[in-house]
Amino acid sequence: MALTGISPSSLPPSAPPHADAPDNWVTRFLLDGPESEECLRFGTAVDRGTLRALVDEQAARLAAAGLGPGGTAALRLPPSLGFVAALLACWHLRAQVALLDHRLTDHEIELAVERLAPQVLVGSAHRPSAALRGFSEVEPVAVRLPNGRPARTGHALVQLSSGSTGPAKVIARTAGDLIRELGCYQRLVDFPGEGERVVLLSSVVHVLGLVGGLLNSLHAHAPLTVPDRMTAAGILAAVADEAERPTTVIGVPFHAELLAGVAAPPALPRLRRMVVAGELVRPGLPAAFTARYGVPLGTMYGMTETGVIATDLDGVLHPAKQPVHGMELRLVARELQLGTAASPYPGLDDPTRWSDGWLHTRDAAELDPATGLVTVLGRRDSQVSIGGLKVDLGEVELILAGLPQVREAVVVFDEGAIEAYLATDEDADRALVRDALAQRLAAYKRPRRLAFLPQLPRTATGKLLRDPAALRATAAAVG
């Protein structure tokens, strides 16, 4: 299906939500198809006829709670069929939707609601399932909030950044921009399409899981499965539960590390590839994954602000990636910047984040003028000064993560010193790690403190936590 609509650049600031997309875009791009065609699997298969009926049911409940065109809703639901139905119902009503991670505490939810002021909060009538469960069975409940405000911008989707390196940002995207991103995926010949299947490990409230996983699967007619359990065994069982359709696994590097560590995985004849995004992949992981499963570990680079930016789905360009069609990139003082018609930060006038049609990614990168390939090197704001000498914490982190006895590493700078937190086996020779580090890094680049942990703490989205106080607390608890 052709992906057409009003250009987001022509959307007036005062336009209502969904103004840059066709009136029936949810049905046309996400729900259309034969009644009996399987589209989702949360434990049991869901066909398109059933999903359409559930969306209609949720739309009626939301309308009864006062949600309508130009209204605002916040969803606090775990991965579930109820989440999918509620999200699509909100958009079907042409409302603006904010996604809140169900793992946030009540206090964090209260702060987010105060900040976003939705008219309706959609939660669950039941407690979410245990932490390692891939999905829950929930009944969405819509509650009208007394201080909610209607949409003040034309955006269809509002998300909060993960906050792994600081306070979360409010990021908004239009319906037309989501349709544009679906077009990017449609042009990637190695991304799941009709007749194929997706096993989704990424969170559906964040950009890769939401657009690259859920929305693309619905649009491309590539049925999506969420594993019953997010363990290595549970993920592999979900992949193996398919006899006909080629299967792509979508997750974050943590999931690839988990699967690469399986000593004797079962035969997976339908596994086509795994694709990961969200943070830099440590050296050696693509080769280790391919050696274990015989298929590529593809990588993607993207942002919540724009969705997918560049890909290496076959793993042959690593660490470089090919920008997706229509993405305009440039380097300014080694910072990667993206051409965008408007700021994705509603109500925020910060020229260090967006100015004159360019989004400042704050990522250091290299652009090959001959091929157009982009190589992301890490965060520009990870550069610190030690005794007047510049040190890139990303460089130190990559060196540490590449050491034989180190599975993962996080390097932070706090109170004038570099600290490193390493995930190693209990019997790892710490002296060898220190000796190897001394051979690879100049003295002024070496961390003043090395903490050895069985595993590194992560955010709710699976990204490595980078808050120095939280890392020190974790290390103190381990002893």
Q: Is the pLDDT of residue 164 over 50?
A: no
Domain that holds residue 455: 387-478
**Pair (75, 102) in one structural domain:** yes
Residue with tokens 């090395």: 450
What residues pair up with 248 in beta bridges, in sequence order?
A: 198, 273
**Pair (314, 197) in one structural domain:** yes
Tell me what pLDDT residue 387 has. 65
Highest-confidence range of 5-19, 115-129, 173-187, 411-425, by mean pLDDT? 173-187
Contacts of 465 (CB under 8 A, 6+ apart): 164, 410, 456, 457, 458, 459, 471
In this structure, what token pair is assigned to residue 369? Answer: 């003028």
Q: Is the pLDDT of residue 296 over 70?
A: yes
**Pair (447, 459) in one structural domain:** yes
Q: How much is the average pLDDT of 256-280?
A: 94
Q: How much is the average pLDDT of 215-220?
A: 98
**Pair (22, 169) in one structural domain:** yes
Tell me whether residue 380 is in a domain: no
Q: Is the pLDDT of residue 165 over 70?
A: no
**Pair (163, 266) in one structural domain:** no
Tell me whether residue 369 is in a domain: no
Q: Cα–Cα distance between 472 and 398 in angstroms, integer? A: 20
Domain boundary among 125, 148, 173: 173
Q: Give the three-class secondary structure for 192.
A: coil
**Pair (473, 397) in one structural domain:** yes
Q: Using one digit for the tens of pLDDT, what is the confidence trace for 385-436?
A: 776 667 878 888 888 988 888 998 999 998 888 999 999 988 889 999 999 9
Q: How much is the average pLDDT of 44-66?
A: 98
**Pair (162, 65) in one structural domain:** yes
**Pair (181, 121) in one structural domain:** no
Tell me what pLDDT residue 243 has. 81
Tell me what pLDDT residue 350 has. 80
Q: Work out the percent of the chain whose per-residue pLDDT is above 90.
A: 70
Tell me whether residue 7 is in a domain: no
How far lies 169's CA from each of 113, 304, 435, in Å?
Answer: 14, 10, 40
Q: Using one digit for the tens of pLDDT, what is the confidence trace for 117-142?
A: 999 999 997 665 566 789 999 999 99
What residues pair up with 336 in beta bridges, in sequence order?
A: 331
Cβ proximity of 141 and 124 under 8 Å: yes
Q: Is the pLDDT of residue 5 over 70?
A: no
Contacts of 370 (CB under 8 A, 6+ apart): none
Domain boundary among 135, 158, 173: 173
**Pair (28, 169) in one structural domain:** yes
Q: How much is the average pLDDT of 214-240?
A: 97
Q: Using one digit for the tens of pLDDT, what is the confidence trace for 299-324?
A: 999 999 999 999 999 999 989 999 99
User: Is residue 36 packed enough to be buried (19+ CB in 10 Å), middle (13-18) or exposed (0-12)?
Assistant: exposed
> pLDDT band for position 189 (50/70/90)?
very high
Q: Cα–Cα distance between 356 and 354 in angstroms, integer? A: 7
Taking all residues of the chain, what is their mean pLDDT, rounded to a whole number?
A: 90
**Pair (21, 166) in one structural domain:** yes
> pLDDT band for position 4 (50/70/90)?
very low
Q: How much is the average pLDDT of 374-380?
A: 87
Q: Is the pLDDT of residue 13 over 60?
A: no
Cβ proximity of 108 and 61 under 8 Å: no
Q: Using one digit for the tens of pLDDT, what is the confidence trace for 319-361?
A: 999 999 999 999 999 899 999 988 999 877 788 889 999 999 9
Residue count (the chain): 479
Tell me what pLDDT residue 128 has. 59
Tell me whether residue 203 is in a domain: yes
**Pair (280, 312) in one structural domain:** yes
Q: Cα–Cα distance between 199 and 181 in angstroms, integer? A: 20
Tell me whether residue 242 is in a domain: yes
Tell me what pLDDT residue 415 has. 82
Domain boundary among 327, 357, 374: 327
Q: Cα–Cα distance between 46 and 121 in angstroms, integer? A: 26
What pTM was computed for the model?
Answer: 0.84
263: CATH: 3.40.50.12780
Report which of 153, 135, 215, 168 is spatially closest to residue 20, judged by C-alpha positions.
153
Q: Cα–Cα distance between 329 and 358 in angstroms, integer? A: 9
Tell me whether residue 446 is in a domain: yes
Following DSSP, what letter does each residue of 6-70 receive, concatenated? --GGG--TTPPTTTTS-TTHHIIIII-S-TT-EEEEESEEEEHHHHHHHHHHHHHHHHHTT--TT
75: CATH: 3.40.50.980
Q: How much is the average pLDDT of 206-211?
A: 93
Q: How many domains does the chain have?
A: 3
Tell me whether residue 181 is in a domain: yes
Q: Using one digit for the tens of pLDDT, what is the confidence trace for 439-463?
A: 888 888 899 999 999 999 987 667 7
> pLDDT band for position 151 (50/70/90)?
very high
Tell me whether residue 38 is in a domain: yes
Contacts of 146 (CB under 8 A, 6+ apart): none
468: CATH: 3.30.300.30
In this structure, what token pair is assigned to residue 354? Answer: 């967006």
In the chain, what are the helix, strand and coil shares in percent, each to the nearest 5?
Answer: 30, 25, 45
Q: Is the pLDDT of residue 2 over 80?
A: no
**Pair (160, 230) in one structural domain:** no
Q: Cα–Cα distance between 19 and 205 in angstroms, integer? A: 23
